[in-house]
Structure 1
Amino acid sequence: MGFDDLRSILLSERETGKLLQISPDIFDRTHAEIAALLKKVYAIEDPLSDEARALIEETIAIKETMHELFSIRSRKILALAIMHAEGNYYDREEVKRMLPAEHEMFDRVASGLEECQGILLNNAKQPLVPPLPAVLRGIESAEDEGDTVYTEVPAAPEDAEPQSPVSSSAAPPLTPPYMLVRVLQDMDTFMGVDGRIYSLAKGDIVTLPERNASVLSDRNIVIGITLPSCK
């Protein structure tokens, strides 16, 4: 998903008050484009070159456009959720145009509003909360002839491996090595190879990606700092 295509979608979404139909994988493709651009930045020997700067500026533009698209669509979805919770008319076709994650957000917000209305406006009782000690001990409740019976949940074996909610096939985030430096002179704001924006002034002591620090050190803009080892 290139910047021009994403920008066109944003402009269309901005010009209309209704939620538009967009590709279900638009955000996935945008993230893939950002990753591809950053990969090109990492491959450039001089991360402060004009080529690297152009790629970084394109990356920033795509991120900002993606965030604005999300913001505009979220405001529309929140408005629909409020109308739904208040029982007012709203276009059901707009709900059909939501992405799966957006539809889940709509359901959660609408459900939360309806529950809050019941408590505050209709004097509905709040759901009972299990006894605190029971929650802390991790027990289950079962109904036995109208009485609540608590039974202990068996503890996991000590040698059992913890279950992770993240798929084992998920790749770890790409994190470049960092270097502690002292800034020797003021410099323009720039984006590091880690995707962060840096605004540095003379006298600052910061950690920078090693590639950026190396280039700035060669230009006598920063100097590396070596911390004494603890014995």
Structure 2
Amino acid sequence: MGRITTSDLHGYLIDERNLGSLAEIPATLYEEVHADILALYKQAASHDDPFGEGAQSVLKERESLREYIRDLYGVRTRKILALALARANGEEINREEIRMMVPGERMLFDVVYESASSCRKTLLDGKPTLETTAYHFVPAEVSAEQAPVPLTPVNESPDKQCADEVNVTSADAPAPESYRVIAVYENLPEFQDYSGRIYALSPGDVVSLPPQMADVLCKDNKALSIRLRK
């Protein structure tokens, strides 16, 4: 698979927005972007300092890819739904547009068309629907090398905690699974975590972060780890 850049996706998105019909995109575009996003995740997680320029630039690139592919998906999906409904209502559609759909999109088109056709026959013609349809598509599998890596601190066991730690009975909101709750000691420049969340923290803020990020802040005496009692 070739490397998909944000410039590539920006070009596809501009073409899609400017054309009234579906634009042509690589048949494996979604799979390639997904693989690139996973690769950037691993690259960011491999940095010792998740707040450094290297890791943060990779996370920003990853988030840009995610935003562009979501926007492209949204524009194309609206066109595909309109085509499927038009065909279900007996209208002629351009066969060339069907050819422009990637495999997963073609499956969506077929499901919507068949469902809308069945609905039309049932409600307008009084013909009972014999079966229902549901979207099911299995994209190309991602290799094991592209899978996310555990975000455990380097040279430290997962159970080891910061030296300074306090216990609390509750928090404003439960931390995501595997995240660590910390209380911030000082102002921190804006940064992203591995899931794309953006933070701008001040002294006294209580937040949940991936363990690798929380550990760095605790070790630098910029935050205090908080253990939640159940």
* TM-score normalised by L of structure 1: 0.72
1:56 equivalent to 2:59? Answer: yes
- In structure 1, distance between residues paired with 2:179 and 2:69: 31
Alpha-carbon distance, 1:2 to partner: 1.0
Q: Which has the larger radius of gyration?
A: 1
C-alpha offsets along residues 25-68 of structure 1, whole Å, 9 cap, x if unaligned? 11122122222222221121111112222111111111100111
Partner of 2:87: 84
1:217 equivalent to 2:218? Answer: yes
Partner of 1:25: 28
More deviation, 33-42/179-188: 179-188
1:107-146 matched pairs, under 5 angstroms: 107-127=110-130
Contact map agreement 1:181 1:222 (CA 8 A) in 2: no
RMSD: 3.0
Task: Label 1:86 to 1:41 Cα distance change in 2 as closer, same or farther (>3 A).
Answer: same
Which protein, 1 or 2, shows the higher relative CO under an 8 Å CA cutoff with sep ≥ 6? 2
Partner of 1:182: 182
Task: Label 1:8 to 1:170 Cα distance change in 2 as closer, same or farther (>3 A).
Answer: closer
List runs of 5+ in structure 2 lacking aligned partners.
Answer: 133-137, 153-177
C-alpha offsets along residues 183-231 of structure 1, whole Å, 9 cap, x if unaligned? 2356565322x32415466655544222100222234332112457x9x
SS at match of 1:81: helix
Partner of 2:171: none
Task: Label 1:196 to 1:169 Cα distance change in 2 as closer, same or farther (>3 A).
Answer: closer
Alpha-carbon distance, 1:169 to partner: 9.2
- Number of residue-to-residue matches in the alignment: 192
SS at match of 1:121: helix
Percent identical among aligned pairs is 30
Contact map agreement 1:78 1:106 (CA 8 A) in 2: yes
SS at match of 2:209: strand
Letter in 2 for 1:176: L
Contact map agreement 1:179 1:224 (CA 8 A) in 2: no
List runs of 5+ in structure 1 lacking aligned partners.
Answer: 130-164
Contact map agreement 2:9 2:69 (CA 8 A) in 1: yes
Letter in 2 for 1:94: E
